[in-house]
Structures are given as C-alpha cells and as structure tokens.
Amino acid sequence: MTSGTAARGSYAKTAGRRSEILEAAAVVFAEHGYENGSLRAIAAKVGISQAGVLFHFGSKIDLLEAVLDLRDQRSRERFTRRTEGQPAGIAHLRAFVDLVRDNVEEPGMIQLYSVLAAEATAAGHPAHAYFAGRYDWLIEQAHVSLLALRDQDLLRPGVEPGHAARTLVAVLDGLQLQWLYHPDRVDTVGDLRTSIQQLVSVPL
C-alpha cells in the first residue's frame, strides 16, 4: 500500500490511529452534527491533541469526507458482493433491504447520516454536494431496479417506477428517523420490506 520508507510496524500504527480517529469522528458528528462537532472532542476521544488529528486528516472537512467515504465504500462492497452476477431487479431490492438491516446494527451511523443529511441541506454546508449526489445515486439505483422489474412484468398494477424510487428512499429516511426516537417500537427493516412488497408481485 505504501512505497515510503516507514517500517511495517509504523505503518500499521498509523493505519490504526487513522481508524481510531475515524470512529471517534463518526460518533462526535453523529451526536452534534458537523458544524457543532469539534475537533477538540474528537481528539479527546482518541486521547491525542487536535494537532494530532490534523496531522492525519489535514482539516475537519477532510475528516468528514473520510468518514463518509469509508462508510460508502463498505456499503458498496457489501452490495456488490450480494448482487454479483445477478441482473438488476428483485435481487438488487433484496440487497438493499440487507444493507438497511446491516445499518440497524450501527445506530450511531444512522444518526450520523440523519443529522448530516438534514444539516447539509444548507447550500453552503461542506457536505451539501455529497448528500445531493448521494440522493441522486440512491434514487437512480432504485429506479433502475424498478424499471427492470416493470420490464419483467413483476410490478403491481399502478406502480410508477419513478415515483416508487423516490418514495422508497424517502420512506427509509423517515423510518430511520422514527426509529431513532423509538428504537423499541419502530421496525425499520420490517416496514421497509412491507413497502417494497406492496410494489412488486414476486416475494421479496
């Protein structure tokens, strides 16, 4: 991975420290948002100085981007592994539900995305373009699957792929928010599955 002169042990140490900082940043941003989540709090969680954080990530914005990129990369890898060799359609919707099920195991990340997605609606927010693009991508993915299902004659009558794609992504955002308030009462995965099942005539 590195062609530098750092010894093997030192490289592993750096990677470990970067990973600790990313985890701490995810927790702090989830709790306070990006604007109000401080480098000081992140550094304190890791037990290093702010300068130590900046040595590894350059700036607070770089750190936020690294947190989001890491998470996206993990999600993409899982999604690709689960849909490998399968055509767009029901397999992709199933992999989408599986991804949401994985996320429920990490409530901190759901809170992070919920808080940042709302905070970043402000046009000047550093993550504004990221979230605008993320919505485009998610809706496009759902749309492609639903169009394929329509071609396979597997959509229920009256389902319009464009509307269904937008509202599937919307329903997930909204259910996760309800779940953050009432984790004991809201079954995000179950409700999402039911919503998808109401769109398609093949068992999910």
Residues that bind a second copy (CB under 8 A): 31-33, 35-36, 111, 114-115, 117-119, 121-122, 128, 131-132, 135, 139, 158-160, 163, 166-167, 169-175, 177-178, 180-182, 186, 191, 194-195, 198
Please identify, using beta-carbon distances, which residue of 52 and 174 lies nearer to a second copy.
174
Instruction: Give the nearest distance from C-beta 49 to a second copy in angstroms.
Output: 24
Q: Which is nearer to a second copy, 63 or 168 (CB)?
A: 168
Q: How many residues does the chain have?
A: 204
| Cβ 177 to a second copy shortest distance, Å | 6
Is the distance from CB of 112 to CB of 68 less than 8 angstroms? no
Question: Measured from the CB atom, is 83 or 168 closer to a second copy?
Answer: 168
DSSP run (H or E) holding 93: helix 90-104
Report the distance separating Cα 13 and Cα 150, nearest Å.
51
* Shortest spacing between CB 190 and a second copy, in angstroms: 9
Handedness of CA 62, 66, 68, 72 (dihedral sign): positive
By beta-carbon proximity to a second copy, the closer residue of 83 and 131 is 131
- Please state, as a whole number, how many other Cβ atoms lie within 10 Å of the Cβ of residue 200: 21
Shortest Å distance, C-beta 158 to a second copy? 7
Question: Smaller CB distance to a second copy: residue 17 or 31?
Answer: 31
Q: How many CA atoms lie within 13 A of 71 on its CB side?
A: 22
User: Nearest Cα to 161, choosing from 177, 183, 144, 181?
Assistant: 144
Least distance from C-beta 103 to a second copy, angstroms? Answer: 15
